[in-house]
Chains A and B, each alone.
Chain A
Amino acid sequence: MFKKFTKDDVHTRTNLKSSVSKTLKAKLIKQYPLLEDVVDDIIPKKVPITLFKCEDKIQLYVIDNQILFYQQFDDLIPELRIVHKYPEAFPRVQVDRGAIKFVLSGANIMCPGLTSAGAKLPDEDWPVDQIVTIYAEGKENAMAVGKLSMSINDIKTINKNTGVELYEYLGDGLWHFKAE
C-alpha cells in the first residue's frame, strides 16, 4: 500500500475534534484489547490528533508529527514504530530467513515462507482479514504489517499462494514519510 508514498499523496490535513478522538480510542481498544492500559500514553488526552487524508482513501492519524495509526477501510493499522514500542499488543506471525529480502522489498508473503522450519504461526485459528505484524527468524523487531488473505488453518493446510497481503514494511514510503 505504501510502496510509493510521498507528501504529494496527502490531500488535506485537519485537526480532529476531541469527541472523534474519543471514539478512535474506543475503537483502538476494541481492535487491540491489550492496548487498553497504554492507550493514554499513545494518545495523550490534551494533545490534538491530526488527520491526514491521502490518496486511495488512506487516512493517517498523526500526533506531534509522528504517524501512529492509519486506516484505509475499517481496520486501524498501527505504524511500525508503534509496533516496535508495544510488540506484545499485536498479533504476530514469523517468516523464515529466506523471505526477509522479499518482504523488505514489498512482496506479499507466500504460505511456504510462513510454514517452513524457521517460521512461526499461532496455534489457534485466525480469520481472514486479521491484521498481523510480521517478524523474521532471528530478528527481534517487527519488519512489516499485513492482512491475512487466508485463515491460519488454510495457510497450514493449503500452503500455496499468498498468505499475507503486505501493507507496510521497513523502509517503504510510509517509513520515510515525514509529517511536517
Chain B
Amino acid sequence: MMIHNTIYCGICTLPVEFCEFGKTFKKCKLWLEDTNPEKFNNLYGSNVNNTSSLSSEKENQISSSLAKMQLKEERKQEREAENLKNSKILIKRIPRTKHKHIVAISNLEILGSDIDMKKIAKSFASKFATGSSVSKNAEKKDEIVIQGDVAEEVEEYLTALMKEKGIEVKIEHVTERFTNKKK
C-alpha cells in the first residue's frame, strides 16, 4: 500500500483543502500561496469549477456563514492582540529577612496557553540553583516564586523566551519595602 502524502496548513494545521472551513482562512490562503503555489492554484485558481451538488442558494448560505465566523475570529484576534499590548508581566522582589529576597513572577499566562508554568519553574530552579515553585497568589492566579534575588536574570530569561516566540510583552519590576512591624 502506498503512503499517501497530505499537505498540512502551517497556520491552522488542517489539511489544506479544509482551510476554507477554518477560522483563519485568509491567513491560510496567503501561507499556501507562499509555500506551495502549485497546490494553491489547484485549490483556489481561477479555472476551478466548483462541483457541488447543493443548490446555489444553499452554497451562498454556507459561504456567508463561514465569512461571518471568520470575521468574528479576526475581531477576536485583534482584541487579543490589543489585550496583550496592554498587559505586562510583573516581577516582584519581596524581602524575606534583612538581606534575603524572593522573586515572584505573575501574569505569565498571557504568553500563551502552551506555556507550562511548572516546567519554567523547574528550569529556573536548576538555572539559579535555588528553590522555585508554582503557587497561587492573593488573586487566586498562578505565579512562580523563586527563592533568591534573581529579578534581573529572570527578566533576561523571559525576554529571550519572548523573542523565541515572537511576541513582545512589557515586563515591570516592583520592589516591596521591608516593613518591620515589631519595634
Name A's B-contacting residues (CB within 8 A): 34-35, 37-38, 41, 81, 84-89, 96-98, 100-101, 104, 116-118, 137-141, 143, 170-171, 175-176
Contact = CB atoms under 8 A, between A and B. Distances in A.
Contact of A118 (B14, B53, B66): B53
B66 to A, nearest CB: 7
B13 interface: yes
Interface of A (DSSP majority class): helix
Given A98-B58, A104-B21, A137 B53 contact: yes
A81 B13 CA distance: 11
B17 interface: yes
Interface stretch (B1-9, B25-33, B174-182): B1-9
A86 B18 CA distance: 19
A13 B52 CA distance: 45
Contact of A84 (B4, B52, B65): B4
Contacts of A101: 21, 62, 65-66
A38 B3 CA distance: 9
B22 interface: yes
B1 A37 contact: yes
B21 A87 contact: no
A84 B6 contact: yes
A84 B18 CA distance: 13
Contacts of A116: 53
Contacts of B54: 96-98, 118
A176 B114 CA distance: 11
B3 A139 contact: no
B65 to A, nearest CB: 7
Contacts of A89: 1
Interface in B142-171: none
